[in-house]
């Protein structure tokens, strides 16, 4: 049975004409699907029961539902969502005084096996569809309104999975999120984070996307990056620099580097020097230096505070626009790299 949210507006119109219904029914249904956020045909209260039953017999309407919720001491909220076919995936609401950010997932599990990431230990089950990604944002936005009385201000694709390996669904989800007849959020408030798929970064440029791009760098030479991120073996730093420059030339969009500090691995002055060299080869706006968040069965540790400050000081001295991003939601395994569908939710 076809998923009704995979039909275009004109296809829904055609459907209603084919069952001898008025065309305006398409507008009513489309609003329920994308603006009023119905999660079943029964929610469509301005349609007759007979018509709702007819829709239910002709189409499927798979929607995410919240399976479990955890609240951090710092205000972060982690949700585990369940798909219609029984898979679990996580999303996070990160509140600050001036921002309410949704961190959303794009895949169920991940195939990249980054050594510092809990999701990387999971098998990739499947891609999320664009309507499932849209549901994540809707449900987190509803949480934000309920708990903080404010709508989401930003969305980051930094949850489970590699967004650029689910390219079409991620772009279609962003199109719906930013559409006037969707959530109508500016693409400039959306950031897609990638572990580095050079070919797809260039494709983003060709597609003239309007959202921001973040590259999870985490090591500024190939030997170290190969060690912690196997994807680097086929998408090395030189290839990524070339792809990012192409992306920027095509779009002019903001680029950020993400760099997690690991004790005695990538936190020395030499590592900082190499990071400066990479930064200077790309028109990046910012380097986010991220605190490492411990995960089960990983051999990494967070550097001490003086090492972190020394690293930051070197970047500042060499005029790198760097910001230290403190962990949020660590006490509920909601921080960067910790999403793994743990059963203790």
Residues assigned a catalytic role: 90, 336
Burial class of 239 by CB neighbour count within 10 A (0 to 12, 13 to 18, 19+):
middle
CA distances from 46 to 22, 38, 59, 129, 134 (A): 14, 12, 18, 27, 23
Give dist(CA 280, CA 219) in Å, integer.
15
Give dist(CA 155, CA 174) in Å, integer.
10
Quickly count: other Cβ atoms within 10 Å of residue 141's Cβ: 21
Which uninterrupted H or E stretch holds 93?
strand 88-95
- Burial string for 58-96 (b: 16+ CB within 10 Å, else e) reads ebebbbbeeebebebebebbbbbbebeeebbbbbbbbbe
């Amino acid at each position: 049975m076809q998923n009704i949210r995979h039909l275009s507006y004109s296809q829904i119109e055609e459907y209603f004409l084919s069952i001898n219904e008025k065309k305006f029914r398409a507008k009513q249904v489309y609003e329920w699907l994308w603006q009023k956020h119905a999660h079943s045909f029964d929610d469509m209260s301005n349609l007759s029961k007979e018509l709702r039953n007819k829709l239910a017999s002709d189409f499927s309407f798979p929607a995410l539902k919240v399976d479990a919720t955890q609240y951090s001491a710092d205000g972060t909220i982690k949700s585990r969502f369940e798909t219609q076919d029984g898979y679990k995936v996580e999303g996070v609401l990160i509140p600050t005084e001036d921002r309410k950010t949704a961190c959303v997932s794009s895949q169920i599990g991940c195939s990249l096996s980054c050594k510092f990431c809990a999701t990387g230990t999971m098998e990739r089950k499947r891609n999320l569809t664009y309507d499932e990604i849209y549901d994540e944002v809707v449900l987190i936005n509803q949480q934000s309104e309920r708990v903080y009385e404010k709508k989401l201000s930003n969305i980051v694709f930094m949850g489970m999975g590699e967004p650029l390996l689910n390219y079409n669904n991620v772009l279609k989800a962003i199109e719906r999120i930013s559409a006037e007849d969707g959530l109508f959020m500016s693409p400039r408030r959306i950031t897609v984070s990638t572990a580095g798929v050079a070919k797809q970064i260039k494709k983003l440029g060709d597609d003239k996307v309007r959202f921001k791009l973040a590259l999870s760098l985490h090591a500024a030479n190939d030997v170290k990056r190969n060690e912690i991120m196997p994807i680097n073996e086929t998408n090395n730093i030189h290839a990524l620099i070339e792809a990012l420059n192409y992306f920027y030339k095509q779009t002019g969009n903001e680029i950020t580097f993400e760099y997690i500090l690991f004790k005695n691995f990538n936190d020395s002055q030499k590592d900082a020097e190499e990071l400066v060299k990479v930064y200077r080869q790309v028109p990046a706006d910012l380097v986010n230096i991220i605190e490492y968040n411990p995960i089960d069965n990983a051999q990494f540790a967070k550097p001490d505070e003086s090492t972190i400050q020394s690293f930051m000081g070197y970047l500042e001295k060499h005029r790198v626009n760097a910001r230290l991003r403190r962990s949020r939601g660590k006490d509920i395994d909601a921080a960067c790299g910790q999403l793994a569908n743990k059963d203790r939710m």
